Amino acid sequence: MRVFKFGGASVKDAAGIKNVYDVLQQVGYEDVLLVVSAMGKTTNALELVIKDYFEKSPSLQASVQEVKKYHNQILMDLFEDDKHEVFQAVQHLFSDLEYFLSHNKSPNYNFVYDQVVSYGELVSTTVLSHYMSFRGIQTQWIDVRHFIKTDANYRDAEVDWELTKNNIASNVKRKMLNVTQGFLGSDENNFTTTLGREGSDYTAAIFAYCLNAESVTIWKDVPGVMNADPRYFENASLLNQISYREAIELAFYGATVIHPKTLQPLQKKEIPLYVKSFINPLLKGTVVSKGVALEPYLPCFIVKRDQLLISLSSIDFSFIMEENISEIFALFHEFKIKVNLIQNSAISFSVCVEDKFGNFKDLNAVLSKKFKVDFNEHVTLYTIRHFNDLAAEMVEKDKIVILKQVSTETMQIITSEKQ
């Protein structure tokens, strides 16, 4: 079995859904499992619904209607008859969403987040599955929440591999096209969980591991994995092949083409990962597999914007020792703040972090009781794998360099823009 993942950009409108059909016609669809994300910016739109819900905003109903209107337009563009059963199926899902919003009693933001945003993937896969059937491709629609079981760490759930493996191996039908949702799972009480933002790639890897798949293909709007994001760097080059090790390094430092969790289960079973263009599906793209070097061997640039550089120093000028660092990292874990760079001296400790859940204000209040806390907001972290002087010079040009860290293979530079 092959596992294909299509992200939100590939199914953002009716033309995108039709293109998925065209891609399958070209590359084959028998014995394939499709993992599909929410359409376009639906997750962002549902995040607005959540915001309005918690603020008890009068705009809540309008926010929900915007999501429904967007999907209804796609349905109208895809199906000739508005009496087609897909309209009722989608309406049923939105009715479930509205029921949850009107009856939920939990004040837990992360719990509510997972229950609400999940409708993006549930609706997108329902639409795509019906469209494939409409065009003559028999499909099995799978509710991924019955297959991927997790703990109850909402918004960043850990997979229960034993339960998940048994569910998938026993229930996924072979020799046909299966369609399921990325990003989602469920806990032991069958409440919806999510695997972390952009977790659909990880979903594909989970299914591939449990099914002993032939390969995983991530379909993107780029020709493959590039050595730099073309939005920020001119003359970005395609990497034809990468080893698992190199791809894990790139993902660890924040390369957005491949989700950080995706590669470990694939490496364990030596399942190759392809990153290919849904615009030109017959191009070779990039392959990530065992024992191949980075090719061509050239600097790879990773950019993480809107970072926070925190500098901690002891109030009494005593050394910051292992016990202090252990306590600091325990707090980062508690407040769900991701550390991307570390640098320390005898009496200070600096970290570049990502505050994606907006918890730094609360963390700062705790840290300030024991440490002097300084911080720089909205800095940019550049990581250069296989760096050279020219690559570093290009990154530093017209910027203020706040911190630089160099190892054998990797250079990291924290900058702010010159005023």
pLDDT-wise least confident of 14-28, 44-58, 179-193, 404-418: 404-418
Split at pLDDT 50, 70, 90, the class of 279 is very high
* Domain covering 301-417 assigned CATH 3.30.2130.10 in the classification: yes
In terms of average pLDDT, the best of 84-98, 219-233, 239-253, 300-314 is 84-98
Mean pLDDT of 16-28: 98
Predicted confidence at residue 37, as pLDDT, reads: 97
pLDDT confidence bin for 261, thresholds 50/70/90: confident
Instruction: Give mean pLDDT, residues 91-105.
Output: 98
Q: How confident is the model at residue 418 (pLDDT cuts 50, 70, 90)?
A: low
Q: What is the pLDDT of residue 295?
A: 56
The single residue listed with the structure tokens 């987040």 is 113
* SS3 track for 110-153: HHHHHHHHHHHHHHHHHHHHHHHHHCCCCEEECCHHHCCEECCC
Q: Is it the case that residue 297 has pLDDT exceeding 80?
A: no
| CA-to-CA dists, residue 362 to 96, 153, 223, 339, angstroms | 34, 20, 42, 16
Q: How many C-beta atoms surround the C-beta of residue 41 within 10 A? A: 14
CATH architecture of 2-213: 3-Layer(aba) Sandwich (3.40)
Helix (H) or strand (E) holding 265: helix 263-268
Q: Please, is 174 exposed, middle or buried when counting C-beta atoms within 10 Å of its C-beta (0-12, 13-18, 19+)?
A: exposed
Sequence-separated (6 or more) residues with CB below 8 Å from residue 235: none
Query: What is this structure's pTM?
Result: 0.84
273 closest CA partner among 233, 341, 306, 224:
224
Is the pLDDT at 293 greater than 70, yes or no?
no
Whole-number average pLDDT of the chain: 93
Q: Are 9 and 96 in contact (CB under 8 A)?
A: no
- Percent of the chain at pLDDT exceeding 90: 80
Res 222: pLDDT: 87
- At 151-169, the pLDDT tens digits run 999 999 999 999 999 999 9
- Residue 419 CB contacts under 8 Å (≥ 6 apart), including other chains: none
- Residue 159's contacts (CB-CB under 8 Å, 6 or more residues apart) are 148, 149, 150, 185, 195, 206
* Phi and psi, residue 296, nearest 5°: -75, 160
Of 238, 234, 237, 200, the C-alpha closest to 219 is 200
Rounded to an integer, the average pLDDT of 384-390 is 93
Q: Does the pLDDT at position 417 exceed 80?
A: no
pLDDT tier, 355 (very low <50, low <70, confident <90, very high otherwise): very high
pLDDT exceeds cutoff 90 at 344: no
Calculate the alpha carbon distances from 164 to 146, 208, 229, 297, 328 in Å: 9, 12, 34, 38, 34
What is the greatest pairwise CA distance in the chain? 74
Of the chain, the percentage scoring pLDDT greater than 70 comes to 97
Query: Which of 314, 301, 307 shows the shortest CA–CA distance to 339?
Result: 307
Q: Is the pLDDT of residue 292 over 80?
A: no
Q: What local confidence, expressed as pLDDT, does residue 252 receive?
A: 80
List the domain boundaries for the chain. Answer: 2-213, 301-417
Task: Output the six-digit token pair for 96.
Answer: 């479930």
pLDDT for 419 equals: 54
DSSP-assigned beta bridge partners for residue 372: 313
Pairing assessment for the beta strands 241-243 and 32-36 based on DSSP bridges: unpaired
174 is in an annotated binding site: no
Among the listed ranges 71-85, 165-179, 197-211, 282-296, which one has the minimum average pLDDT value? 282-296
Q: Which residue has better confidence, 165 or 230?
A: 165
pLDDT of residue 124: 98
